Amino acid sequence: METRLMQFARALRAAGVPVSMAETVDAAGALTALGVKDREPFRISLRSTLIKRTIHLPVFDELFPIFFDGKAELPPDMDNALENLSDEEAEQLALALQQLKDNIADSLRRLLRGDPLTRQDLNQLAAMTGLDRARNMRWSEWMVRRMQAALQHDSVRRAMVEIAQLLEQVGFSKERLDELRAMLQANIEAETGQLQNFAGQRITDNMQARPPSEDVEDLLHAPFGRLGEDEMNVLRQEVRRLSAALRSRISLRQKRQKTGTLDLKSTIRRNLGHGGVPFTLSYKRRQKKPRLVVVCDVSTSMRYCTELMLGLIHAMQDQISRTYAFAFNDHLEYITPDLAHGSAQEAVDRVLVRMPPGHYSTDLGGSLAEFDREWLDLVNHRTTLLMVGDGRNNFRDPETGIFQEMARRCTRTIWLNPEPPMLWGTGDSDMNEYLPFCDHVLQVQTMAELTAAVDELLTR
């Protein structure tokens, strides 16, 4: 059991769930306490010890049956439809089968006979369909479909309809025929089940064998535009880690600050131990309640990095309760409610679905004007204004007046631009127009730069 448990933990890790050594030990302890006889307590004990985040529960529910229901090892329950046939019927069936193409007839005969696929068959299928290289559970459904295609399930179904007609003509009884069809259908379903289990099992094996690479360092310095899907996943994790680190840093900084007015009451109380002689002073802690207004470009020109940027905004919203996030392409939308619940990934997807990028439709100036009309009262002396975008405006009015007003009203204006300064002002970029009004303009082309930018943003 221990080895199986370790394998399970490894597969969970490979699927992106952080499972520590201590948690595996707990799981083993839980199994000792509750036993492994009943499935339900067994499942609950593993789930409560190994999974600590709501978003990881689905992963667990997906992997658990693959590992512990043990279906993949057993051949599926298939019935032999042929053994009940009388000699005459068997002969009729054999004749009908001759009408079909050889390979389809073989498949049909095999399915009617109910021979389960052997380990060897399955391995062959895996090699054929590329299942051996699949390392993501998302692919399992598709792999099953490919294997089904290789086994000609659809053709077999059609062939059955054909020979059913033939058989009826030669006097096969209707009930027998229905029985035959039902059994074939059941066998096909059983085999599909076997394929699903096998696909799940094989993918988890693959994941264990080659866990996702962890060279975060290199990725940190890779430009956003060149990242692939797997790399994006690593970066998303990095964003999460970053936000956790920032969280403790902010609150420590707030706690340790030694400014503010003297708090007489608490000073007297603290120094009662010294007979009222004020050895240690205490200050009124100034509750720093920053307000953040983020305006993020989600247009086509920014497409390659919007997802990460939105992910980061999601993380920041988690940390700073007064975060007001906006996204724009051809118009401006308030997206804080979208980011407020669910995991970062879901939240970002929600925004991107609602605001699909269009071609040459970015209207930065118009969006600023909209902000001015609807939301300007959000910007006050507590506000830090964060613009995320490349400042490309399709040659429309940049509305610098409005931007100047926004920048004047807030404490700090920070612009994060994924383009290198060389390109600012080229083509339809109005970056240089906005430049004079920003307190900081930071180029964020890589994750490392983004990290530095956020650090700067939150700690000042």
Partner 1 sequence: MPDAFSSPNQIRDALHGQGYVCSPEIATITYLSDQLDKPLLIEGPAGVGKTELAKVVAAATGRELIRLQCYEGLDETKALYEWEYAKQLLYTQLLRDKLQEVLASAGSLAESADRIAAEENVFFSMRFLLQRPLLKALLSPEPVVLLIDEIDRADAEFEAFLLEILSDFQISVPELGTLTARVQPLVFLTSNNTRELSEALKRRCLYLFLNYPELEQEIAVVNLKVPELDGALTRQAVEMVQGLRNLDLRKHPSISETLDWARTLVILNAERLDSGLVSDTLNVLLKHERDLKRVQQRLEPMPGDGPEYQGPEDEEDHTRYL
- In whole angstroms, the minimum distance from the beta carbon of 204 to partner 1 comes to 22
100 vs 335, beta carbon nearer partner 1: 335
Q: Which is nearer to partner 1, 270 or 409 (CB)?
A: 270
Q: Nearest CA to 292 among 356, 161, 353, 380?
A: 380
Report if residue 216 touches partner 1, rule: CB under 8 A.
Answer: no
* Start-to-end CA span in the chain (Å): 53
Q: Which of 11, 15, 17, 51 binds partner 1 (CB under 8 A)?
A: 51
Residue 21 tokens, joined = 């050594």
Q: Kindly state whether residue 1 participates in binding partner 1, applying the rule CB under 8 A.
A: no
For residues 20 and 169, which CB has a smaller minimum distance to partner 1 in the complex? 20
Does 45 bind partner 1 (CB under 8 A)? Our answer is yes
3-state helix, strand, coil in the chain (%, to 5): 60, 10, 30
User: Does position 18 bind partner 1 by CB under 8 A?
Assistant: yes
Of residues 221 through 280, those in contact with partner 1 by CB under 8 A are: 240, 244, 247-248, 251-252, 255, 269, 272-273, 275
Closest distance of CB 273 from partner 1, Å = 5
Backbone φ and ψ of 257, nearest 5° = -70, 140
Q: Which residues contact 95 (CB under 8 A, 6 or more apart)?
A: 170
In the complex, the smallest distance separating the C-beta of residue 338 from partner 1, rounded to whole angstroms, is 12
Beta-bridge mates of residue 443: 417
The residue (of 133 and 269) whose beta carbon lies closer to partner 1 is 269
Which is nearer to partner 1, 38 or 91 (by Cβ)? 38
Q: Do the beta carbons of residue 99 and residue 163 sit within 8 Å?
A: yes
The distance of closest approach from Cβ of residue 339 to partner 1 in the complex, given in angstroms and rounded to an integer, is 14
Report the nearest approach of partner 1 to the CB of residue 264 (Å).
16
Whether 420 and 445 have beta carbons less than 8 Å apart is answered as yes
| Between 31 and 134, CB nearer to partner 1 | 31
Q: Applying CB under 8 A, which part among 44-52, 116-124, 328-336, 423-431 lies near partner 1? A: 44-52
- State which residue, 252 or 376, has the beta carbon closest to partner 1: 252
| Contacts with 234 (C-beta within 8 Å, 6 or more apart), sequence order | 212, 213, 214, 216, 219
177 is a site residue for partner 1 (CB under 8 A): no
Residue 22 lies near partner 1 (rule: CB under 8 A) = yes
Give yes or no for a contact between 86 and 55, defined as CB atoms under 8 angstroms apart.
no
Bridging pattern class, strands 291-297 and 383-388: parallel
**Stretch 53-72: interaction string toward partner 1, x if CB under 8 A:** xx--x---------------
Q: Which is nearer to partner 1, 106 or 455 (CB)?
A: 455
- Our finding on whether 350 is near partner 1 (CB under 8 A) is no
Q: Where are the beta strands (DSSP E) in 283-438?
A: 291-297, 323-328, 332-334, 383-388, 412-417
The piece of 34-42, 104-112, 294-302, 345-353 that touches partner 1 (CB under 8 A) is: 34-42
Q: Using CB under 8 A, which of 62, 263, 318, 439 touches partner 1?
A: 318
Query: According to the binding rule CB under 8 A, does residue 49 interact with partner 1?
Result: yes
Measure the CA–CA gap between 415 and 391, rounded to whole angstroms.
9
Give yes or no for a contact between 127 and 96, defined as CB atoms under 8 angstroms apart: no
Strand pairing report for 332-334 and 323-328: antiparallel
Rounded least distance, CB 19 to partner 1, Å: 9
What does the alpha-carbon distance between residue 155 and residue 163 come to, in Å, rounded to a whole number?
Answer: 12
Tallying the residues shown for the chain, one arrives at 460
Residues touching partner 1, count (CB under 8 A): 34
Query: What's the rounded Cα separation, in Å, for the pair 386 and 389?
Result: 10
Does residue 26 touch partner 1 according to CB under 8 A? Answer: yes
Residue 34 contacts partner 1 per CB under 8 A = yes
Among 136, 237, 267, 319, binds partner 1 (CB under 8 A): 319
Nearer to partner 1, 318 or 433 (CB): 318
Candidate segments 37-45, 230-238, 361-369, 404-412, binder of partner 1 by CB under 8 A: 37-45
Q: Are strands 440-443 and 383-388 parallel, antiparallel or unpaired?
A: unpaired
Q: Is 429 helix (H, G, I), strand (E, B) or coil?
A: strand
Per rule CB under 8 A, is residue 354 in the interface with partner 1? no
What does the alpha-carbon distance between residue 196 and residue 85 come to, in Å, rounded to a whole number? 31
Residue 25 vs 94, nearer CB to partner 1 = 25
Q: How far apart are CA 224 and CA 312, in angstroms?
A: 14
Classify 43 as helix, strand or coil: helix
Rounded distance between C-alpha atoms, residue 260 and residue 135, angstroms: 56
Q: List binders of partner 1 among 99-128 (CB under 8 A).
A: none
Can you name the residues that pair with 385 across neighbouring β-strands?
Answer: 293, 413
Residue 20 interacts with partner 1 (CB under 8 A): yes or no: yes
Name the site residues for partner 1 (rule: CB under 8 A): 18, 20, 22-23, 26, 29-30, 33-34, 40-41, 44-45, 47-49, 51-54, 57, 240, 244, 247-248, 251-252, 255, 269, 272-273, 275, 318-319
